[in-house]
């Protein structure tokens, strides 16, 4: 178990328990179908605030062709740079600031960000310096990004749940089971806490993956302003 979930008076917290040690193997194995089924797990570790640049680069690479990111951020030659800026702000100003856990591999091949129950809501206002960081990412589409975030918040379940904000694998390693392994590690812990997990899938392909992990659709959300659809999904805690 790479972290434990424990209940306090106010919410649930994430307590790191060190690194999961496994036999080191390449992600492309002779039997990749075994990945994430318990027969193989990557070595996961808790990432710290000083690793935000590396984590942001990994997530930006993973989401380069994501339809929501492509629609939300201005295109052009600075798209990839804007994507890295956006993920850096996400990690520093939202996930880590709200006590979220960010888990990755030794070489930042994959990243998963999870927020505990009661910590996922974004503040109603931000300081000027923070607003400028978001503006560097979204440019003239900053207002659009705010409307999208509001729409996502309105669809969140009301009952306590863990929020999987981001899970991504570097493009060169996608389709080899690492994303499934990252998700299973998180879901094992949410099951131990006997609480559901919630996420938004940004493509039908991703939604199909999450369905195989036990998530169920709660409807389709078309983003405001003519944006692409996203698929909010909820997974109840599995009981032995």
Extents of the domains making up the chain: 42-235
According to the model, what pLDDT value does residue 37 have?
A: 42
- pLDDT score recorded for residue 27: 37
**Alpha-helical regions (H) of 43-177:** 52-62, 67-72, 79-89, 128-138, 142-154
Model confidence over 148-194: pLDDT tens digits? Answer: 989 999 999 989 999 999 999 999 999 888 999 899 889 998 999 99
Decide: 231 and 220 in contact? Cβ < 8 Å: yes
- pLDDT category at 211 given cuts 50, 70, 90 is very high
Kindly report, residue by residue over 131-147, the tens digit of the pLDDT. 899 999 999 999 999 89
Mean pLDDT score, 212-219: 95
Mean pLDDT within 23-49: 53
pLDDT exceeding 70 applies to what percent of the chain? 81
φ, ψ for residue 209, nearest 5 deg: -60, -45
Q: Does pLDDT of 42 surpass 90?
A: no
168 forms bridges with which residues in the sheet? 111
Tell whether the model's pLDDT for residue 15 goes beyond 60.
no
Q: 76 φ, ψ to 5°?
A: 95, -175
Given a contact cutoff of 8 angstroms between Cβ atoms, the answer to whether 180 and 216 are in contact is: no
Q: For residue 167, list its beta bridge partners.
A: 112
Mean pLDDT of the region 98-110: 93
64, pLDDT greater than 90: yes
- C-alpha distances in Å from residue 150, one per residue of 91, 115, 127, 155: 18, 17, 18, 9
Name the pLDDT band for 41 (thresholds 50, 70, 90): low
The confidence score (pLDDT) of residue 26 equals 36
| Mean pLDDT over the full length of the chain | 83
pLDDT of residue 19: 37
User: Which CATH superfamily groups domain 42-235?
Assistant: Gcn5-related N-acetyltransferase (GNAT) (3.40.630.30)
Task: Identify the residue with better confidence: 36 or 223.
Answer: 223
At 25, the pLDDT band (50, 70, 90 cuts) reads very low
**Residue 121 pLDDT grade (very low, low, confident, very high; cuts 50, 70, 90):** confident
| pLDDT exceeds cutoff 60 at 35 | no
């Amino acid at each position: 178990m790479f972290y434990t979930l424990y209940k306090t008076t106010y919410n649930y917290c994430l307590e790191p328990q060190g690194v999961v040690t496994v036999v080191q193997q390449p992600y492309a194995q002779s039997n990749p179908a075994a990945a994430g089924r318990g027969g193989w797990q990557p070595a996961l570790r808790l990432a710290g605030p000083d690793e935000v640049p590396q984590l942001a680069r990994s997530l930006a690479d993973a989401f380069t062709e994501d339809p929501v990111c492509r629609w939300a951020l201005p295109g052009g030659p600075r798209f990839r740079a804007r994507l890295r800026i956006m993920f850096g702000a996400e990690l520093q100003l939202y996930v880590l600031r709200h006590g979220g856990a960010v888990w990755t591999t030794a070489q930042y091949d994959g990243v998963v960000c999870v927020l505990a129950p009661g910590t996922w809501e974004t503040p109603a206002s931000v300081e000027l310096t923070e607003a400028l960081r978001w503006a560097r990412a979204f440019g003239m589409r900053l207002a659009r990004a705010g409307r999208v975030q509001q729409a996502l918040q309105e669809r969140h379940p009301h009952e306590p749940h863990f929020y999987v904000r981001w899970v991504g694998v570097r493009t060169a390693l996608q389709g080899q089971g690492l994303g499934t392994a990252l998700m299973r590690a998180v879901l094992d812990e949410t099951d131990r806490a006997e609480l559901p997990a919630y996420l938004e899938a940004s493509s039908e392909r991703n939604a199909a993956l999450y369905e195989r992990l036990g998530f169920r659709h709660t409807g389709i959300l078309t983003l405001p302003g003519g944006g692409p659809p996203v698929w909010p999904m909820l997974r109840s805690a599995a009981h032995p």
